[in-house]
Amino acid sequence: MMEKDILVLGIESSCDETAASVVKNGRVVLSNTIYSQIDLHTLYGGVVPEIASRKHIEKINRVIKKSLEEAGVSLNDIDAIAVTYGPGLVGALLVGVSAAKAVSFASGIPLVGVHHIEGHISANYIENPDLKPPFMCLVASGGHSHLVLVKDYGEYEIIARTRDDAAGEAFDKVARAIGLGYPGGPKIDKISREGNPDAIAFPRGKVEGSEYDFSFSGLKSAVLNYLNGCRMKGEEFSQADVAASFQKAVVEVLVEHSLKAAKDYGVKTFAIAGGVASNSHLREAFEAECAKRGFNFVHPSPIFCTDNAAMIGAAGYYEFIKGYRSTLDLNAVPNLQIGEKVGVFKENDGQFK
Ligand code: KG4
Ligand code: ZN
């Protein structure tokens, strides 16, 4: 007998994307609705938390409705509601969490809180139907740079983290410094195609006492110093050369640390996730190095790398089938750690009647 399909409604509002998605069995995306506020925040050169929260409130109901319509389903077909409850901006998170609780309360559909980064990692399940843990995943986004060993579905061990800036943060700051504007990642990615990645020898960040941890603040300072030097000498600098040289330094460090950890921990498959994982140079570098070193390389499409709710639906599915549930007490947890659960319980541990 065929097992019944499980449909999860995912909801995401941790930063500047209001998103909802319907995902079947943790792998098949029936809809992926994203309202991006990026144009609004571009005016200010970065995400303004108060504006983000207000926009989420305006959009969330319509985004949820549209995701159900596009999937061709109604709430009656949904088995669980998965919502990002951390980490992220507290006011932004609260909008998604409140909407998810309201829908759950009104419909009686079970609720489960999902960790944003665990969502990013789970984006890899969507287009790689054969992907199963264990695997190693590099998560590089605007707020996080982690190497995570995925031991099993929903079981994570952090192998490395950044000691200072996240990779995406470095992209955004350098882009601003060379006059490309916000958001920096995609702009550096594009303009680098016209630049020489060996034009300027920027440092590769090393961290004392750890061979896997990342550090990007030294690289960022080196770029700022280079720009200052040019200004003082009255010389023009090439945006494309600075972008390409900076990007090469970031990509090299991410690839080297990641694949060293993958080898040392004995995994066969390597995955990437988060906004920076949509960087075309990073993807090419991992593709080439994984092939050379004998790792199976998987990655989400760019649309599932940057913030979306399909990844929350995918992660939520595996939490749901393990029996994890949240009550209406679920709250936003802005600094939630990977693997930590706050207000997410097993169904039979006494929290549910
Ligand atoms: O995962 P994400 O959408 O949001 C967070 O959870 O932070 O990541 C956003 C970050 C930003 O810093 C953005 O500049 C970076 O991802 N990013 C990129 C690219 N696209 C987005 N960085 C490098 N290359 C890209 N193509
Ligand atoms: Zn994210």
Tell me the pLDDT tens digit for each residue of 183-198.
899 999 999 999 999 9
Q: What is the pLDDT of residue 44?
A: 86
- The answer to whether the beta carbons of residues 216 and 174 sit under 8 Å apart is no
**For the chain, what are the domain ranges?**
7-122+305-351, 133-302
CATH classification (class only), 7-122+305-351? alpha beta
Q: What is the pTM of this model?
A: 0.96
Alpha helix locations (H) across 210-238? 217-232
Q: Which residues line ligand 1 (CB under 6 A)?
A: 15, 141-143, 168, 171-172, 183-186, 189, 274-276, 278-279, 306-307
Report which protein residue has its CA nearest ligand 1's atom 19.
Answer: 185
Separation of CA 311 and ligand 2 centre (Å)? 10
Residue 338 confidence class, pLDDT cut points 50, 70, 90: very high
Instruction: List pLDDT tens digits, range 301-316.
Output: 999 999 999 999 999 9
The per-residue pLDDT for range 31-40, each reduced to its tens digit, is 999 999 988 8
Structure tokens at 219: 């690289």
**Closest Cα to atom 8 of ligand 1:** 275
**Distance in Å, CA 135 to ligand 2 centroid:** 20
What is the 308 CA–ligand 2 centroid distance (Å)?
Answer: 8
Q: CA-based Rg of the chain, rounded to a whole angstrom? A: 21
Separation between Cα atoms, residue 313 and residue 191, nearest integer Å: 34
Per-residue pLDDT band at 114 (split at 50, 70, 90)? very high
Distance in Å, CA 171 to ligand 1 centroid: 8
Give the class (CATH, top level) of 133-302.
alpha beta
